[in-house]
């Protein structure tokens, strides 16, 4: 049986009723999975009902409200239409204020995109995600891509990119995780998920001992995708089409450690061609700094 990725009204009401009775969100997610819901979708549905904007249809709602009392602060991203970095000007094409999302043009040159693909092509492995219970990286069906990493400042070329990306994201370079390269073939997708570590998941505590919570993400597109492969934010109805050298940036953790659930996002299936991206995640503190 195929996993369900649509929330009928009766299930929406069931989640609301059980949350009001004080049931643990994880127990509701487990019950939904036992009833053949997709695990990632089940978590998104419960989180969405908790925060308000999740709806019992497959249609996104552009009038979504701040989730879970999230307080929007001054964005980390620079104001204005242009971001001047140490070696390149980056143009802001589109902004969304709630959640804080920006589409950026010219983050990488065509030559840099090609070089990242060239360096990655022969070392790709099936992509993993963080297991919510253990905090370990595991292969899951919801993420059908292959990938590789470049350590922070791995060589002069990577160091130049790490510096520019940190200047665009306006966050210390040492707080960044290493660049992650991902490749999606026909049918490749990443179902809607959060980039931050959900505090209710035991495995999140393991991840957050090495730099704290993630605070922002930038996804950079390394090639033109013939069809499909868009980045979607289903809670607000936003869809970003890949363009070589461009990027989508979003923030989801504020200074009070609140998490913005409106940043639920995913990658739609590639239906023609292929898709290459590079992702940068920023942490609250220096990445690799161990805390108890």
pLDDT at 148 over 80: yes
Residues 193 and 136 in one domain: yes
Tokens of 22: 């004080």
Asked whether residue 4 is assigned to any structural domain, the reply reads no
Q: How far is CA 286 from CA 36, 41, 93, 160, 291, in A?
A: 40, 32, 30, 18, 11
Among the three residues 26, 44, 59, which one is the final residue of a domain in this structure? 59
Comparing C-alpha atoms, which of 201, 197, 203, 202 is closest to residue 177? 197
Rounded Cα distance, 124 and 15, in Å: 40
The pLDDT value given to residue 260: 97
Listing from the earlier edge strand, what are the strands of the sheet with 231-233?
Answer: 190-193, 265-267, 231-233, 238-240
SS3 content of the chain, % helix, strand, coil (to 5): 25, 30, 45
Find the CATH number of the domain harbouring 90. Answer: 2.60.120.620
Asked whether residue 290 is assigned to any structural domain, the reply reads no
pLDDT at 8 over 90: no
The pLDDT value given to residue 263: 98
pLDDT at 111 over 70: yes
* Summary mean pLDDT of the chain: 86
Residues 52 and 162 in one domain: no
Asked whether residue 68 is assigned to any structural domain, the reply reads no
The pLDDT value given to residue 135: 52
Q: Please, where are the H alpha helices in the chain?
A: 9-20, 25-34, 39-51, 110-120, 156-169, 202-207
pLDDT at 217 over 90: yes
Q: Please, where are the H alpha helices in 150-201?
A: 156-169
Domain count, the chain: 2
Could you tell me the end-to-end alpha-carbon distance of the chain, in angstroms, rounded to an integer? 43
Residues 91 and 182 in one domain: yes
Residues 37 and 88 in one domain: no
Residues 87 and 45 in one domain: no
Q: Output 137 or 146, whichever has higher pLDDT.
A: 146
Residues 31 and 162 in one domain: no
Asked whether residue 65 is assigned to any structural domain, the reply reads no
Map tokens 């999230």 to a residue: 70
Q: Output 252 or 290, whichever has higher pLDDT.
A: 252
pLDDT digits (tens, 9 = 90+) for 221-253: 999 999 999 999 999 999 999 999 999 999 999
Residues 87 and 183 in one domain: yes
Percentage of the chain beyond pLDDT 90 is: 62
Residues 233 and 273 in one domain: yes
Asked whether residue 70 is assigned to any structural domain, the reply reads no
pLDDT digits (tens, 9 = 90+) for 39-72: 878 888 887 777 654 444 333 434 444 445 899 9
Backbone dihedral region of 187: left (phi > 0), alpha (psi from -120 to 50 degrees) or beta?
A: left
Asked whether residue 71 is assigned to any structural domain, the reply reads no
pLDDT digits (tens, 9 = 90+) for 149-208: 999 999 999 999 999 999 999 999 999 999 999 999 999 999 999 999 998 888 888 889
DSSP classification of residue 146 = E
Query: Do 142 and 39 contact (CB within 8 A), yes or no?
Result: yes
DSSP classification of residue 259 = B
Name the residue range of residue 132's domain: 82-283
Mean pLDDT comparison of 16-20, 36-40, 121-125, 212-216, highest-scoring range = 212-216
Residues 106 and 41 in one domain: no
Assign 84 to helix, strand or coil.
strand
Asked whether residue 39 is assigned to any structural domain, the reply reads yes
Residues 92 and 46 in one domain: no
Residues 243 and 121 in one domain: yes
User: Taking residues 95-112, what's their average pLDDT?
Assistant: 98
Please state at what angle helix 25-34 crosses helix 9-20, rounded to 10 degrees: 150
The pLDDT value given to residue 70: 93
Comparing C-alpha atoms, which of 280, 281, 278, 108 is closest to residue 183? 278
Asked whether residue 139 is assigned to any structural domain, the reply reads yes
Residues 135 and 234 in one domain: yes
């Amino acid at each position: 049986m195929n996993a369900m990725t649509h929330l009928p009204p009766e299930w929406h009401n069931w989640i609301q009723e059980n949350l009001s009775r004080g049931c643990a969100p994880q127990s509701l997610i487990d019950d939904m999975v036992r009833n053949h819901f997709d695990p990632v979708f089940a978590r998104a549905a419960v989180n969405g009902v908790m925060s308000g904007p999740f709806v019992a249809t497959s249609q996104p709602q552009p009038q979504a409200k701040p989730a879970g009392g999230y307080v929007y602060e001054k964005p980390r991203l620079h104001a204005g239409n242009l971001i001047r970095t140490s070696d390149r000007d980056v143009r802001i094409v589109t902004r969304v204020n709630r959640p804080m999302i920006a589409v950026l043009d010219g983050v990488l040159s065509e030559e840099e995109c090609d070089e990242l693909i060239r360096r990655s092509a022969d070392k790709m492995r099936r992509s993993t995600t963080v297991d919510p219970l253990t905090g370990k990286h595991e292969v899951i069906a919801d993420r059908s891509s292959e990938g590789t990493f470049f350590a922070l400042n791995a060589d002069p070329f990577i160091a130049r990119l790490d510096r520019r990306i940190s200047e665009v994201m306006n966050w210390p370079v040492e707080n960044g995780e290493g660049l992650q390269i991902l490749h999606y073939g026909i049918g490749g997708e990443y179902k809607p998920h959060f980039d931050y570590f959900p505090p209710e998941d035991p495995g999140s505590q393991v991840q957050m001992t090495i730099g704290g919570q993630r605070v922002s993400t930038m996804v950079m597109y390394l090639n033109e995708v013939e069809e499909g492969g868009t980045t979607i934010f289903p809670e607000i109805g936003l869809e970003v089409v890949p363009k070589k050298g461009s990027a989508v940036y979003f923030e989801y953790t504020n200074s009070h450690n609140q998490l913005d659930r409106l940043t639920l996002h995913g990658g739609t299936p590639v239906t023609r061609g292929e898709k290459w991206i590079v992702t940068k995640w920023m942490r609250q503190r220096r990445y690799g700094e161990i805390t108890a």
